[in-house]
Amino acid sequence: MIIWCLGYRIDKLSNFVNKDLKNKVLHTFSLIYDHLILCTFIFICIVLIILFIYKGLGTYKFTFNEKEYTDGTSRSVNYVAAINRIINLYILILTKYWIYYFLVLLFFNNVRYDYLSERSIEINSGLGILKILILISYILKSIFILKIPIDRTTFRINREKLELRYIILNEKNRYLIVKPSYREKTIYYVVEKEMINGSDDSFEIINRSENWDEIVYHFDYLCNKRDNM
């Protein structure tokens, strides 16, 4: 896109492609992107029809019950899943597939909307501007947003955060085994209550690991050691 904005004719790279083939590809894409308003109307109608059939007429009562299979999966009729898939397809047409359309225009026709009406050209140009703005926002995020793995940089947990964001799995003496409530990968902590200014609202992280057996062994060792003191 940057090269095209600078005025370079990228479409010359596709001179070896048959002209009739180019026109057929461009015309095929135009069948959708010259009728985006109609496509939007059709998608909305399909969603409303599904809602009417399943909710208005109550036909969900006559669908087959959930079935379980030996591969560990189950299958059932779910109108919500159908609506989500239809909406996702519509979003793909406006995002991912539109990018393919733009690349075809770029390499085959130097971004000339030959098969689109004036109204459709305005709509597709607006989609292009929207995607440029989204791209700029992603670039700014990648530059300015700092992402830090907190599991490796956290050394203490206060009581409020412990109660809100962690699950206590075991507790004995002054030691606890906890894990974060929400993580893609489960990680366990052995923490010890700290007395700071007469308050035990702070917990020091003694060990952290994704290995449950390691954490249990360390926890038992610390508890037994304290019992024998």
Residue range 147-203, pLDDT digits in tens: 777 777 788 888 888 888 899 999 888 899 999 888 778 899 999 988 777 677 788
Euclidean distance between CA atoms 54 and 79, whole angstroms = 7
pLDDT of residue 152: 73
Report the percentage of the chain scoring pLDDT > 90. 27
* Residue 34 pLDDT > 70: yes
Euclidean distance between CA atoms 172 and 192, whole angstroms = 10
- Region 123-133: mean pLDDT is 89
Question: Domain-by-domain residue ranges, the chain?
Answer: 2-144, 150-227
Q: Taking the mean position of all CA atoms in its chain, how far away is CA 110?
A: 33
pLDDT of residue 201: 78
Structure tokens of 56? Answer: 């208005």
pLDDT, tens digit, 9 for 90 and up, residues 2-21: 555 555 566 666 667 778 88
Q: What is the pTM of this model?
A: 0.63
pLDDT, tens digit, 9 for 90 and up, residues 35-69: 999 999 999 999 999 888 887 777 666 566 667 76
Q: Are 170 and 176 in contact (CB under 8 A)?
A: yes
Handedness of CA 98, 102, 108, 111 (dihedral sign): positive
- Region 98-107: mean pLDDT is 86
* Contact partners, residue 1, CB within 8 Å, separation at least 6: 102, 106, 132
pLDDT of residue 54: 83
pLDDT of residue 36: 92
pLDDT of residue 225: 82
Euclidean distance between CA atoms 23 and 27, whole angstroms = 6
pLDDT of residue 46: 94
- pLDDT top residue among 145 and 40: 40
* Residue 226 pLDDT > 80: no
pLDDT of residue 64: 61
* Residue 210 pLDDT > 80: yes
Buried-state track 113-143, b at ≥16 Cβ within 10 A, e below 16: bebbeeebeebbeebbeebeeeeeeeeeeee
pLDDT of residue 16: 73
pLDDT averaged over the chain? Answer: 83
Residues in the chain: 229
